[in-house]
Amino acid sequence: MSDFTGERLVPGEVDADLWNEHISRYFFAASLSRTGAHIATRILDAGCGTGYGTSLLHRRNAATVLGIDLSPDAITHARREYSAAGAQFAIGRCEALPVPGGSVGMITAFEVIEHLDAWREFLQESRRALTGSGLLLVSTPNRAVYAESRGDSGPNPFHVHEFDFDEFSRELSAVFPFVQIFGQNHTGTITLSALGEAGIMAERESLHVAPQNAGYFVAVCSQTELPAIPNFVFVPEAANTLLERDRHIRLLTQEVADVNRAKEKELERSNAWAASIQAKLDAAGKRIDQLQTELKSSNAWAIQLDRDLTEYVARVAELQGELAKSNAWAADLDGLLSNAAFRIVELQTEVEVKNDWAASVSRESDSRGARIVALQQELEERTAWAKALDARLQEFEASRWVRVGKTLRVGPLAP
């Protein structure tokens, strides 16, 4: 079986009160299954859990009983512990009962409906599966009382929907025209018993407790009118309640002592741990004092740094002003330099032009000088030639006139 959660009861693994609370419902169902027109020869135990209730219905009624549950673990346990010729178990869902319509005389569903998402479908399925005079017995905790009993534990995580008396009555009556709801409570009972079974003689002062205030509701539903159902009192086998409670108290006392011893050991470990934590805290306190001293020194240093920083910022602002002036002067100088560079380029261009002109003039002058020299040389040569010619002419003229003068007898005398 899976770990016990309180939602699936395992015989022998729960206290007597919880066991009696559950098993008494099956004794109630067994007594009704033998009542008049509602005698049931086939019973369906929906949400049978570990199968103890299915087995009881079979033993007390001698009917064929089928127990179904959604849990494979629970069905495996039930088959191993309670299987018999007339008690069978199968995996099945309450919202889809695995039986033909109108085939069973009683359906029990104890502490099941609050676990179902489709609980309305379950009620409709129960009506389908029951014979015309069949009975549905369904129990559920009273939401108001149950919530209070759980206290700080909070809502039950396994419950999908819980009911108060009015809602439970209204939802059952919407499917079954005849509904009677009993309140289930633990009550104190005094018994006088002897060896042997000679029947039971009961006297009661009053059992009339308003179902609205009961811890649990047990409803009997049918499509036909219900017979008069008397109040039901279950006296468990271990009926010496005081003895059982004394035993239970002793067990609880032993458990408390064991828990206290465990807590004492845990407390010792906690104290040792706390002492080590305290030592660490003391060391941390000293370290904090040291850090606070260092912090004060750091703060003073930070204050001085802040002052230095303020002066530095002021000096930076001053230098930035000077830099702005220098940048403006540099910009003006850059403009002048740009103009000068432009003028230099113009002058260089002008010089290059003039140099080219001078070079061309020089080349022309050189060419003319060479021509002049050549002309002078030619002039000198022609002058010399002219002089030579003139001399020859003079000689010629002189000689001709002399000859003429001599002939004519005029002119100077020849020497």
Instruction: Write out pLDDT tens, residues 332-384.
Output: 767 776 776 787 788 788 778 887 887 887 787 778 778 877 877 888 888 88
**pLDDT band per the 50, 70, 90 thresholds, residue 313:** confident
Label residue 128 by pLDDT band (50, 70, 90): very high
pLDDT at 100 over 90: yes
Higher pLDDT: 208 or 127? It is 127
- Could you give the CA distance from residue 127 to residue 221 in angstroms, rounded to a whole number? 9
Say how far apart CA 400 and CA 394 lie, in whole Å: 10
Structure tokens at 68: 């179904």
| Identity of the amino acid at 90 | A
Highest mean pLDDT among 12-16, 82-86, 185-189, 197-201: 82-86
Structure tokens at 343: 């003028």
- For residue 171 the two structure tokens come to 């939802």
Q: Which domains does the chain have, with CATH numbers?
A: 16-188+210-237 (3.40.50.150)
- Name residue 135's beta-bridge partners: 106, 222
> Considering the chain, what percentage of its residues have pLDDT values greater than 70?
80
User: 252 is written with which tokens?
Assistant: 């609880």
Bridge pairing between strands 216-222 and 130-141: antiparallel
- Choose from 198-202, 290-294, 394-398 the range with maximum mean pLDDT: 290-294
Q: What is the pLDDT of residue 3?
A: 46
Q: 6 pLDDT band (50/70/90 cuts)?
A: low
Residue 130: beta bridge partners?
A: 104
CA distance 386 to 381: 8
**Which residues are paired to 178 by β-bridges?**
222
Distance of CA 10 to the CA centre of its chain: 39
Q: What are phi and psi of 93, to 5 degrees?
A: -110, 140
Specify whether the CB–CB gap between 112 and 159 falls below 8 A: no
Task: Read off the pLDDT of each residue in 79-105 and give the average, rounded to a whole number.
Answer: 95
Give the pLDDT band (50/70/90) at residue 136.
very high
pLDDT at 84 over 50: yes
Q: Is pLDDT of 415 > 60?
A: no
pLDDT reading at 49 higher than 70 = yes
How far is residue 408's CA from residue 411's CA, in Å, rounded to a whole number?
8
Residue 2 binned pLDDT confidence (cut-offs 50, 70, 90)? very low
pLDDT of res. 164: 93
pLDDT digits (tens, 9 = 90+) for 181-234: 998 888 777 777 777 666 676 666 665 667 777 889 999 999 999 988 888 888
Pick the more confident residue, 23 or 260.
23
User: Tens digit of pLDDT for each residue in 227-256?
Assistant: 888 888 887 765 555 555 555 556 556 765
Choose between 201 and 30: higher pLDDT. 30
Q: What is the DSSP string of 12-60?
A: TSS-HHHHHHHHHHHHHHHHHTTSGGG--SEEEEET-TTSHHHHHHHHH
**Amino acid letter at 380?**
E
Stretch 303-320: mean pLDDT: 85
Burial 128-147 (b: 16+ CB within 10 A, else e): ebbbebbbbbbbbbbbebbe
Point out the least confidently predicted range of 26-40, 115-129, 167-181: 26-40
Give residue for tokens 């910009």: 331
Task: Find all residues with CB under 8 Å of 241, minimum gap 6, and list them.
Answer: 188, 189
Give the mean pLDDT of 148-172: 84
Better-scored residue on pLDDT, 12 or 54: 54
Q: What are phi and psi of 157, to 5 degrees?
A: -70, -15
Higher pLDDT residue, 43 or 319? 43
Record the pTM.
0.57
- pLDDT range class, residue 296, cuts 50, 70, 90: confident
Rounded-to-integer distance, Cα 256 and Cα 265, Å:
14
Spell out the long-range contacts of 146-150 with Cβ–Cβ below 8 A and sequence spacing 24 or more. 146/215, 149/215
Least confident range from 98-112, 300-314, 347-361: namely 347-361
